[in-house]
Amino acid sequence: MKHPKTIEEISAPWMTEVLRGAGILRRATVDAVNVRAIGQGLGFLSGRARVTLTYDQSEEGAPATVVVKLPATVKEAVDVAESTHAYEREIRFYREVAPRTPIRVPRMFATIMEPADNVFILVMEDLKGLTAGDQVIGMSRAQVLAAVQTIAPLHARWWNGDQRQALPWVPSVEQQLKMLSLTPEVIRTAWPLFVESFGDSLPPGGRALGERIIQHLDGIMAAFVNGTRTLVHFDYRADNLFIDDDLTRKAPIVVVDWQCHDVGPGRLRCGPPGGRQYSTG
């Protein structure tokens, strides 16, 4: 059966095939699907949809909803993803890294990769029962500490090891920064253009903070590449976390969006300058 290229092409027969292949369905058939786009404007490199499933009969373990992640349809996003091999890297993370890494990620029903046809699809559990992180709203101190405790085992699992031999397809942080054009020169050139376009929308002190960052940019960028190497998420922020309301439970945070993971310094610090710092390293 032909795989969908857009979320509009997700069909009941295709979902039946996927769930049968995963061993989830044996008797039941997906009769109908209700597909709703989610994360619009957030998942820059991908299209995502929550798919509500209707079956012809009940079957134990059959999910009521799943989330399907497909390549983006915007050319600029596709170009970035292709240049960084983002789709392939995420699928290989779920296939090869997640099973031997102590970190909670979404349950995968299918990881479909056919590069020649630009088919990269994840079908995963719906995490709607958890609270989606929001970097604009921010996180509580307890949530931040839980986030540090969540990522630490991943860093420890690959800490100071030979990741290049075990995971030859994962780029170094230097390669990642180059692929994303995140160099001091590019950032310094982009800053005046950003201020010209969005300066009036910055909060009080925003422009001054930006100027301080530009002033110390070389040191900031050096911190991205200096230190003991491990496997890092690279985009570890609130928007990529799903958080259980009860942080005392085992593994209360699920980490998503592994398109940009790389091998780099295993640092994660949070807290006010001069105040107490919390670190995985």
Q: What is the mean pLDDT of residues 159-186?
A: 87
7-125: CATH topology: Phosphorylase Kinase; domain 1 (3.30.200)
C-alpha distances (whole Å) from 148 to each of 55, 137, 203, 246, 281 are 40, 18, 28, 16, 10
pLDDT attached to residue 276:
41
Residues 14-71 have pLDDT tens digits of 999 999 999 999 999 999 999 999 876 555 667 889 999 999 999 999 999 999 999 9
Alpha carbons 154 and 156: distance in angstroms, whole number: 5
Q: Is the pLDDT of residue 94 over 90?
A: yes
C-alpha 11/C-alpha 122 separation (Å) is 15
pLDDT of residue 275: 39
Structure token pair of residue 113:
């990769």
Tokens 């596709």 found at: 78
Classify the phi-psi angles of 108: left when phi > 0, otherwise alpha if psi is within -120 to 50, otherwise beta.
Answer: beta
Region class of 128: left (phi > 0), else alpha (psi between -120 and 50), else beta: alpha
Tens of pLDDT, residue by residue over 248-269, are 988 999 999 999 999 999 864 4
Q: What is the pLDDT of residue 44?
A: 60
- Could you tell me the CA-to-CA distances from 32 to 9, 11, 12, 59, 247 in Å, in that order? 13, 8, 5, 15, 36
Question: How many helices and strands in the chain, by DSSP H and E?
Answer: 9, 12
β-strands 241-243, 119-125 pairing: unpaired
